[in-house]
Amino acid sequence: MSSASILQTAVKPAAAPKAKRSLVGRLLVAVAVLFLALFIVLPVANVFTQALANGFAAYWHVFFPPPPGPATHLTFFEKHRLLAATDQAERTWSAIRMSCGVAAIVVPLNIVFGLAAAWAITKFRFRGRVLLLSLIDLPFSISPVIAGLIFVLWFGRGGIFGDWGTNVTWPDPTSLTWQGFSGHWWPFTFANSYTGIIFTPLAIVIATAFVTFPFVARSLIPLMDTQGSDEELAALSLGASGWRTFWKVTVPNIRWGLLYGAILCTARTFGEFGAVSVVSGHIDSNDTIPLRVEKLWDGYNMQGAFAVSTLLALLAVVTLVIKAAVEFKTKQAEAAATAASAVNEVKLDEHRSSSDQQELRLVPSAEGREP
């Protein structure tokens, strides 16, 4: 039997028997579709409907209020409404910038942590491995509000690290300015700084990182555990360094799983509300997009609340589309890895059989031996 036929036999899955769809099965499918329509499709559609109920111009003016013309004469109330709309738009853009800044910090940190944790858990066996897995799953079992409260009890004024947490000073990354080399060894400086951790953007970053750090690790651990360590060991035995093995062997094999975890982490970072609400102190400068939606809703600004909510709804739709594409690519990569493994096993079996035949030819027969 040729290697191609053996490969086809090894890779081709067994045909599943076709079961007739019973009435119970159809009923379960209908219930699932109805549930998804009522709790996912209709709420998302309602968000866009309410946001565009007053026309696209009203939706657009939530983010970009119309400037008055140079010769326009405005009454006192019209000026007040225009100033209020401009102020609301600026606060909305501040919340968008805050969410993007937090995601730019949290997602790379979680990618690094997820890679390190998945590598340690799947490639090594050590004491405390089960404990590490339990700690990775800890944010899934703790309410985000409780997580935010824990950080307040740690770094707050009366917390365990209160003395340090309320007096530490750290620079504002967005205030980086150029100061030149005259009298300075470093040409950049920070114009603004923060004092303390709680009720600052740093607390938002810490709380969001805690809530979202399991996503990358949990996306990589099953994939890396299935792939094993054979390819890495082969690369190391051929003289490759640890970093070269990591970048040339490990990362290409897990790139789709890594992207999948990063997508989930990004979506949760933008949508996190509970922990961020506790550690932000409800200060306008610390608002993220979900907190901004809450304040607009509490202020009876329905148009603004639904308009800003469409940003999170669009992010959710884009996340689902990318997630489906990544899952498809991941399945293709797993199928290709399975086929390659089957090819290697077939070639190894053929090599062993040819080696056994050569050994049999070299063994002299009993008649030709001397007594």
**The two three-digit tokens of residue 57, written as one number:** 């111009």
d(CA 118, CA 106): 18
The torsion angles phi and psi of 188, rounded to 5 degrees, stand at: -110, 155
Per-residue pLDDT reduced to its tens digit, 233-261: 888 888 888 888 888 888 888 888 888 89
Name residues whose C-beta falls within 8 Å of residue 210's C-beta, 6 or more positions apart in sequence: 139, 147, 151, 275
d(CA 250, CA 257): 12
pTM confidence score: 0.78
Per-residue pLDDT reduced to its tens digit, 98-131: 999 999 999 999 999 999 999 888 888 888 888 8
Residue 224 and residue 254 in contact, taking contact as beta carbons nearer than 8 Å: yes
Res 11: pLDDT: 47
- Dihedral of the alpha carbons of 167, 169, 174, 180, in degrees to the nearest 10: 160
Cα dihedral sign for 152, 153, 155, 158? positive
**The two three-digit tokens of residue 120, written as one number:** 């340690």
The torsion angles phi and psi of 176, rounded to 5 degrees, stand at: -65, 125
Q: How many CB atoms lie within 10 A of CB 63?
A: 15
Mean pLDDT along residues 161-179: 84
Local confidence band at 360 (pLDDT 50, 70, 90 cut-offs) = low
Name residues whose C-beta falls within 8 Å of residue 8's C-beta, 6 or more positions apart in sequence: none
The torsion angles phi and psi of 145, rounded to 5 degrees, stand at: -65, -40
Mean pLDDT, the chain, as a whole number? 83
d(CA 138, CA 210): 9
Greater confidence (348 vs 51) lies with: 51
Long-range contacts (CB closer than 8 Å, 24 or more residues apart) made by 138-141: 138/214, 139/210, 139/211, 139/212, 139/213, 139/214, 140/214
Residue 326 and residue 342 in contact, taking contact as beta carbons nearer than 8 Å: no
Name residues whose C-beta falls within 8 Å of residue 181's C-beta, 6 or more positions apart in sequence: 187
Per-residue pLDDT reduced to its tens digit, 46-78: 999 999 999 999 999 999 988 776 656 777 777
Residue 209 and residue 276 in contact, taking contact as beta carbons nearer than 8 Å: no
Q: Which residue in 163, 155, 263 sits closest to 204, CA to CA?
A: 155
Question: Under CATH, to which class is 43-67+76-156+198-343 assigned?
Answer: mainly alpha
Per-residue pLDDT reduced to its tens digit, 262-316: 988 999 999 999 999 999 988 888 999 999 999 999 999 999 999 999 999 998 8
For the chain, the domains span 43-67+76-156+198-343, 158-196
At position 85, the amino acid (one-letter code) is A
Residue 245 and residue 143 in contact, taking contact as beta carbons nearer than 8 Å: no
**The two three-digit tokens of residue 184, written as one number:** 């300075």
d(CA 59, CA 295): 17
